[in-house]
Amino acid sequence: MIGILAGMGPKSTGPFVDTVVAKCQTIYGAKHDMAFPHMMIYSCPTPFYMDRPIDHEAMKKAIIEGAQKLESTGVEFIAMPCNTAHLYFEELQHSLSIPILNIVDETLQTIPENIKRVTLLATEATIQAGIYQDGIAKRNIEYIHNEQWQESINQIITCIKGGEIEEARKLWSVLVVQLKAEVDTAIIACTDLNVVADEDFVDSAQCLADAVVEMYLSNKKKHL
């Protein structure tokens, strides 16, 4: 059984589960209901606020408790469709006896080789933590950070969290034009953005969903 520790933010849960289901169809041709995996989805609200600094201890505690609760249901591994939550990945993995897929590693692996300039579309916390930048540098890719773009992303995420989806879409459309003029691709490193994003960027949610289905199939083979 697949464990999905979601709810960070709440609006990202549905699109991620839909993505996993779609990947089952494209990766191994799932058609009938019984061909799809058993999933335990736990929507775990966390003390994250766009307008104030993160209380890291409170965040870590909420995420670890959520993951342990999910593990207790008998899942074989956990996927966490939230990039910011990966700030605590090492401690989280140490608190469990089952593996957690790493959204950052899965995403960095899929950046096309011809990419020379990239930007990150993420929360301030994810950007400041630097969890992506090292991997980008190792691939000899230039990382472009633009404060104006970051302000737009902050506004878009705030709108999505507040249910102002049309406003978020308008802001997103303007931002995409700017991005396409300046970088080869962008990494969508905030799963809330999947509510409005449909461009051909490197999407962390898609990358994690691929890894979920691959691990599910690998585990299934072991049980045969």
Whichever domain contains 115, its CATH number is 3.40.50.1860
129: CB partners within 8 A, 6+ apart: 84, 87
52 with 87, same domain: the answer is: yes
H or E segment to which residue 3 belongs:
strand 2-6
Print the domain residue range for 116. 106-204
Q: Is 190 a catalytic residue?
A: yes
Amino acid identity at 51? D
Long-range contacts of the stretch 131-135 (C-beta < 8 A, 24+): 131/83, 131/86, 131/87, 131/104, 132/104, 132/107, 132/108, 132/187, 132/189, 135/104, 135/105, 135/108
pLDDT-derived band at 223, boundaries 50, 70, 90: confident
Peptide bond between residue 130 and the one before it cis (omega within 30 degrees of 0) = no
How far apart, in whole angstroms, are the C-alpha atoms of residue 4 and residue 196? 21
Q: Are residues 200 and 212 in the same domain?
A: no
Please write the tens of the pLDDT for every residue from 114-138. Answer: 999 999 999 999 999 899 999 999 9
* Band of pLDDT at residue 50, cut at 50, 70 and 90: confident
Residues 62 and 76 grouped into a single domain: yes
Report the pLDDT value the prediction gives residue 198, as an integer from 0 to 100. Answer: 82
DSSP one-letter string for 105-137: HHHHTTS-TT--EEEEE--HHHHHHTTTHHHHH
128 and 70 fall within a common domain: no
Same domain, 68 and 34: yes
pLDDT digits (tens, 9 = 90+) for 193-217: 988 988 889 999 999 999 999 999 9
Q: What pLDDT digit, counting tens, does each position of 65-102 carry? A: 999 999 999 999 999 999 999 999 999 999 999 999 99
- Provide CB contacts within 8 A for 30, sequence distance 6+: 21, 24, 36
Q: Which of 24, 44, 82, 207 is catalytic?
A: 82
Same domain assignment for residues 6 and 24: yes
Mean pLDDT of all residues in the chain?
A: 94
Catalytic annotation on 44?
Answer: no
My answer on whether 7 and 88 are in the same domain is yes
Catalytic residue among 24, 44, 159, 190: 190
At 188 the three-state DSSP class reads strand
- Report how many domains make up the chain: 2
Are residues 191 and 181 part of one domain? yes
